[in-house]
Chain A
Amino acid sequence: LASVSLITALAVHCVVLLTMTVFSGYFSHSTDFEVHRNWLAITHSLPVSKWYHENTSEWTLDYPPLFAWFEYSLSHVAQHFDKEMLVVQNLIYTSPATILFQRLSVIVTDIVFIYAVKECCRSVREEKGSKDLLGHPFFILAALLLWNFGLLIVDHIHFQYNGFLFGILLLSVARHLQGRHLEGALLFTVLLNLKHIYLYIAPAYGIFLLRSYCFTKDNTDGSVRWSSFSPVRLVALGSIVISVGALSFGPFIAMGQLPQVLSRLFPFKRGLCHAYWAPNVWALYNMVDKALSVLGVRLKLLDVAKLPKASMTGGLVQEFQHSILPSVSPSITLICTLLSIMPAVLSIWCRPRGARGFLRCLVVCALGSFMFGWHVHEKAILMAILPFSILAVESREDAGIFLMLTTTGHYSLFPLLFTAAELPIKVLLMLLFTLYSFTSLKKLFRGSLLNPLETTYLLGLVAVEILCEVVYPLSPWQHTLPFVPLLVTSVYCSLGVSYSFIRLYVSLLRQHGTDKHKQL
């Protein structure tokens, strides 16, 4: 039964993907597309020593070396499609063969994602009792992951390799759920060396592995039994981390290029918020700041001339100052992020709840870093949504939080697709995914999962969409204040995301509390 349902979901996934390529020629002018083409060119045409120094194009190589090796291997296939795309000087080169190759590469690397989904489905706990195919948790999880609206939009319309990367992440999670910790650790290290944004969830991995893997036994009350520390395991983990790191960074350390590589990887010049604010705490912060400054000018408390000219919503990623509230620097965001994930990490140290507790902590870390991080891109919400899907099909409360998070998170991705041609596509796909997630989870847990306030909020999203895409462009303010729709979307969604974050935290701490009570 499991294989059948998975095959169905898989096939539908393939069909949907291929349908995407149907209009692949249309969306070739996404900047991400050019970014990856450039990286193919750099890794293919230039010697290794030049990879992180090259800056003919503005899209410099800013992923860790393992990803560069990945692009290098892809480029060997690319040369059979169109040699011209591998010339570094051919900026914004978009021949049909190039587009076809790039899109196909995303689809092919998605195989990793499909395999990971299969493994995750195997680890899902289900209640006994016959269910038809569509109501089975396997199928629901497979569908929620394979047809995830955010992933589809970002990977196949916009162009990135997130399917591949999230596949590795989910596979690592699945391995931990299955108890194969060394493999999970290996996969995560590989992932870290492919895209360093996953550093945000490294604390969860680190503490979990240290606590639950290196200490082989717990005391009866669940606290650490220091005597059961196993140095062998620690050494095994350490060697995995070091060897993968050596494989990826090794050549660059040998050439003494490490500082250059690091500076490319962590470009802190970029500004607190992206051109379009990700729906996190800083969006709300910016909003309050702007509101106060406008209020201040109106009430004649502030002098307009003294306010900084650079606008956060100007669409350029540059550093700027807040006008009223204190400015936020990278170190502050780091501290806030660490503070936000500290309780979660501590809870899996003190009261580890096995792999599922680890998964919950991982989601909290991902979400916490999304809420408080520096220059967060709204795509990062996927890092929280995808692993959370596994928890969502197992517990009723999680399903409720999931619906809230996923709907708002996905809606916040709408501004990524802004042309009129993409409007029906994104609306239809969003409706498809939302409808499916709501009805399937409702059926699985037999009953309504959201309270009326939450439902009203989500319905409000429809109003926001109509306002931003239909009403506003036809109004006179479109030209004077073009950023207002983005602002409204971002702020409205950040309310939803923050609410989900708080609820998730509460559920985590409540579980921690009940554990404590159980021991007494």
Chain B
Amino acid sequence: MENWSLVSICVLFGLTARWAVSLNSYSGAGKPPMFGDYEAQRHWQEVTYNLPVHEWYFNTTDNNLNYWGLDYPPLTAYHSLLCAHVAKLINPDWVELHASRGHESYGHKLFMRATVLVADLLIYIPAVVLYSFYLSEGSNKKKVCTVLCILLYPGLILIDYGHFQYNSISLGLALWGVVVLGLGWDVLGSLAFVLSLNYKQMELYHSLPFFCYLLGKCFKQGLAGRGLFLLVKIAVTVLVTFALCWLPFLSDPGQILQVVHRLFPVGRGLFEDKVANTWCSLNVLIKIKTILSTDTQLYFSLTTTLLAILPSSIKLLMKPTLWQFKLALVNSSLAFFLFSFQVHEKSILLPAFMLPLFLKDGLLVPYVVTSLAFLFFSIYLLSAFEHCSEDKLRLGPYRRLLICMPRMDLGRVTKWKFYFSITAMAGLSFMSVALAPPDQLPDLFPLLVSVFSYLHFLGLLLYFNIVQIAEPLQSVRKNQKKSN
């Protein structure tokens, strides 16, 4: 079958899965007074439509920042404004100032879900298709399988269509950035990424790799000539895009400060709830949150984050290839997630870990279904197990590290570890749902899930870092297929 029909079928299938999930409950459904993320998005539409721009991020009589105040960069606000205009055409009640608070109805739910779907369709899905076809290796069939697996990624589906957020826009724009950079158009790539950054500040997790990759490319082309020219072009693009996005706020420095203050709430503490990062897990053993003051926590986490991300960035700077870039993206986001300040679970977008969140939202069945589907498809279509040999997993460096265990087939070890992890995750999921925790430890299951996931993420961070750093600086002639 031709590619276009197979890809269309995958896309249609992904869309069906998305809409099917979206018919379920959303975050904060029927839970006054605060409701949840769904209400937050609706509230932002109300605020951006009814109030003038310079009041959006400020605490005024009309805009109570304690009730879901705007805490994403301006592009989210513009997007909400656009949606609000559409909402006004369909049913003005949805965005009435003050009166529409906590508004929940069948029609409104369809409208909100539809906005997510439209955004996804316009931004994220084309990026995925282009990425699979231009930037991944393998036969055509392999590429189609990649499209299918990426589109079925449960984390994104469940968060965006279940819990309710617009991650697909920021992720999509970042992915566009990657695709365009891969095609060699550096300026456009940086433009796309800046837009993505201006949609959600969470994209800062990916900013260092972009920065190092582009800088490395400039260095490679020689700072005396074309490299400098490229650097200037990129710098100008970035600055101009930022300026355009923040245009309404540039008139007053107070505005800019307030927006930044909203985007980075440093007053809040090292972590909230149960997050699978270092601080939360460490808190089980040593109560860091209470020992250190907020400022110390801030500096401590900043330093560790930078340290964690340093090796990968330097390597990328020295060898700015696409493969290194992809690895660096993974490493950087993992490092940020594990070590930074005020991290929310959603930042990792990994499903098994967000189980407690989904249970709260009443999304258990979609979670089970989509995770199983994704697991099945990834394993079957991407032949994950076939490629579990040592060579494919690039476990060479590990070999060198673990010289004490020369006889083990690390490929098999990985496979068994995978089985074990899956079983453990299934077990934890089941227990979280079916059993009640003992009275002395009411948070037992979320904690277990987060610590378990944390160990996995730490392991992944180490693995990817080693893989990235161990790659030789000059690509060897023999290994052509990895040398992109």
Residue positions of A touching B, CB distance < 8 A: 8, 11, 15, 18-26, 134-135, 420-421, 424-425, 428-429, 431-432, 435-436, 439-440, 443
What's the Cα separation between A409 and B380 when bound, in Å?
Answer: 34
What's the Cα separation between A428 and B14 when bound, in Å?
Answer: 10
One of B117, B373, B376, B377 near A19 (C-beta < 8 A):
B373
Residue contacts A-B, CB under 8 angstroms, 20 given:
A15-B372, A18-B372, A19-B373, A21-B369, A22-B21, A22-B24, A23-B24, A420-B107, A421-B23, A421-B110, A424-B15, A428-B12, A428-B15, A428-B16, A429-B16, A432-B9, A432-B12, A432-B16, A435-B8, A436-B5
Known: A23-B21, A23-B23, A421-B23. 13 other contacts (CB 8 A): A11-B376, A15-B373, A15-B376, A18-B373, A22-B20, A22-B24, A22-B369, A420-B107, A429-B16, A431-B12, A432-B9, A432-B12, A439-B2
B243 at the interface (CB under 8 A from A): no
Residue of A nearest to B107 (CB): A420
B365 at the interface (CB under 8 A from A): yes
Contact with A along B374-403 (1 / 0, CB 8 A): 001100100000000000000000000000
What's the Cα separation between A19 and B24 when bound, in Å?
Answer: 11
Contacting residues, chain A, for B380 (C-beta < 8 A): 8, 11
One of A8, A11, A21, A439 near B5 (C-beta < 8 A):
A439
Which of chain B's residues 1-31 have a Cβ closer than 8 Å to chain A? 1-2, 5-6, 8-9, 12-13, 15-17, 19-21, 23-24
Main secondary structure of the interface of B (DSSP, over half): helix
What's the Cα separation between A65 and B107 when bound, in Å?
Answer: 43
Contacting residues, chain A, for B15 (C-beta < 8 A): 424, 428
Contacting residues, chain A, for B6 (C-beta < 8 A): 134
Q: How many residues of B contact A (CB 8 A)?
A: 29
B366 at the interface (CB under 8 A from A): yes
One of B5, B24, B369, B372 near A435 (C-beta < 8 A):
B5
What's the Cα separation between A439 and B8 when bound, in Å?
Answer: 11
Q: Given the interface contacts A435-B8, A435-B9, does A22 sit within 8 Å of B16 by beta carbon?
A: no
- The reply to whether B365 and A21 form a contact with Cβ atoms under 8 Å apart is yes
Taking the closest CB of chain B, its distance from the CB of A426, in whole angstroms, is 10
Taking the closest CB of chain B, its distance from the CB of A435, in whole angstroms, is 6
Contacting residues, chain B, for A23 (C-beta < 8 A): 20-21, 23-24
Tally A-B pairs: CB < 8 A: 70
Contacting residues, chain B, for A26 (C-beta < 8 A): 23-24
- The reply to whether B16 and A425 form a contact with Cβ atoms under 8 Å apart is yes
Taking the closest CB of chain B, its distance from the CB of A437, in whole angstroms, is 11
Taking the closest CB of chain B, its distance from the CB of A243, in whole angstroms, is 43
Taking the closest CB of chain B, its distance from the CB of A250, in whole angstroms, is 42
Residue of A nearest to B369 (CB): A18
Residue of A nearest to B366 (CB): A22
- The reply to whether A19 and B23 form a contact with Cβ atoms under 8 Å apart is no
Residue positions of B touching A, CB distance < 8 A: 1-2, 5-6, 8-9, 12-13, 15-17, 19-21, 23-24, 106-107, 110, 117, 365-366, 369-370, 372-373, 376-377, 380
- The reply to whether A432 and B20 form a contact with Cβ atoms under 8 Å apart is no
Taking the closest CB of chain B, its distance from the CB of A129, in whole angstroms, is 17
- The reply to whether A436 and B110 form a contact with Cβ atoms under 8 Å apart is no
Residue of B nearest to A26 (CB): B23
Contacting residues, chain A, for B110 (C-beta < 8 A): 420-421
Taking the closest CB of chain B, its distance from the CB of A139, in whole angstroms, is 11
One of A15, A421, A424 near B117 (C-beta < 8 A):
A424
What's the Cα separation between A432 and B7 when bound, in Å?
Answer: 11
- The reply to whether A440 and B24 form a contact with Cβ atoms under 8 Å apart is no
What's the Cα separation between A429 and B12 when bound, in Å?
Answer: 8
Taking the closest CB of chain A, its distance from the CB of B15, in whole angstroms, is 5
Contacting residues, chain B, for A134 (C-beta < 8 A): 1, 6
One of B5, B20, B106, B366 near A425 (C-beta < 8 A):
B20
What's the Cα separation between A435 and B373 when bound, in Å?
Answer: 22
What's the Cα separation between A95 and B462 when bound, in Å?
Answer: 48
One of A11, A24, A428, A439 near B1 (C-beta < 8 A):
A439
Contacting residues, chain A, for B8 (C-beta < 8 A): 435
Q: Given the interface contacts A19-B369, A435-B8, A439-B2, does A25 sit within 8 Å of B19 by beta carbon?
A: no
- The reply to whether B16 and A436 form a contact with Cβ atoms under 8 Å apart is no
One of B1, B17, B20, B107 near A135 (C-beta < 8 A):
B1
- The reply to whether A440 and B1 form a contact with Cβ atoms under 8 Å apart is yes
What's the Cα separation between A22 and B161 when bound, in Å?
Answer: 12
What's the Cα separation between A18 and B24 when bound, in Å?
Answer: 14
Taking the closest CB of chain B, its distance from the CB of A288, in whole angstroms, is 38
What's the Cα separation between A22 and B20 when bound, in Å?
Answer: 7
What's the Cα separation between A220 and B420 when bound, in Å?
Answer: 67
Contacting residues, chain A, for B5 (C-beta < 8 A): 435-436, 439
Q: Which of B6, B21, B110, B365 has the most CB of A within 10 A?
A: B365
- The reply to whether A432 and B13 form a contact with Cβ atoms under 8 Å apart is yes
Residue of A nearest to B374 (CB): A15
Across the A-B interface, the 3 shortest Cβ-Cβ residue pairs: A23-B23, A439-B5, A428-B16
Taking the closest CB of chain A, its distance from the CB of B400, in whole angstroms, is 39
Q: Given the interface contacts A421-B110, A435-B8, does A19 sit within 8 Å of B20 by beta carbon?
A: yes
What's the Cα separation between A436 and B5 when bound, in Å?
Answer: 8
Taking the closest CB of chain B, its distance from the CB of A467, in whole angstroms, is 21
Contacting residues, chain B, for A436 (C-beta < 8 A): 5, 9
What's the Cα separation between A55 and B2 when bound, in Å?
Answer: 56
What's the Cα separation between A287 and B23 when bound, in Å?
Answer: 37
Contacting residues, chain A, for B365 (C-beta < 8 A): 21-22, 24
Taking the closest CB of chain A, its distance from the CB of B11, in whole angstroms, is 10
Contacting residues, chain B, for A135 (C-beta < 8 A): 1
What's the Cα separation between A15 and B16 when bound, in Å?
Answer: 12
Contacting residues, chain B, for A425 (C-beta < 8 A): 16, 19-20
What's the Cα separation between A440 and B2 when bound, in Å?
Answer: 10
- The reply to whether B19 and A428 form a contact with Cβ atoms under 8 Å apart is yes
Taking the closest CB of chain A, its distance from the CB of B386, in whole angstroms, is 14
Taking the closest CB of chain A, its distance from the CB of B162, in whole angstroms, is 10
Taking the closest CB of chain A, its distance from the CB of B159, in whole angstroms, is 15
What's the Cα separation between A106 and B19 when bound, in Å?
Answer: 22
What's the Cα separation between A429 and B16 when bound, in Å?
Answer: 7
What's the Cα separation between A437 and B240 when bound, in Å?
Answer: 50
Taking the closest CB of chain B, its distance from the CB of A264, in whole angstroms, is 36
What's the Cα separation between A25 and B24 when bound, in Å?
Answer: 8
What's the Cα separation between A237 and B32 when bound, in Å?
Answer: 67
What's the Cα separation between A134 and B366 when bound, in Å?
Answer: 28
Residue of A nearest to B23 (CB): A23
What's the Cα separation between A21 and B23 when bound, in Å?
Answer: 11
Q: Given the interface contacts A19-B17, A22-B369, does A435 sit within 8 Å of B12 by beta carbon?
A: yes
What's the Cα separation between A431 and B369 when bound, in Å?
Answer: 22
Contacting residues, chain B, for A429 (C-beta < 8 A): 16
Residue of A nearest to B14 (CB): A428
Taking the closest CB of chain B, its distance from the CB of A383, in whole angstroms, is 26
Contacting residues, chain B, for A420 (C-beta < 8 A): 107, 110
What's the Cα separation between A443 and B2 when bound, in Å?
Answer: 9
What's the Cα separation between A20 and B23 when bound, in Å?
Answer: 11
Contacting residues, chain B, for A20 (C-beta < 8 A): 20
What's the Cα separation between A8 and B17 when bound, in Å?
Answer: 18
Taking the closest CB of chain A, its distance from the CB of B232, in whole angstroms, is 47
What's the Cα separation between A150 and B393 when bound, in Å?
Answer: 44
Residue of B nearest to A23 (CB): B23
What's the Cα separation between A8 and B141 when bound, in Å?
Answer: 15
Residue of A nearest to B21 (CB): A22
Contacting residues, chain A, for B2 (C-beta < 8 A): 439
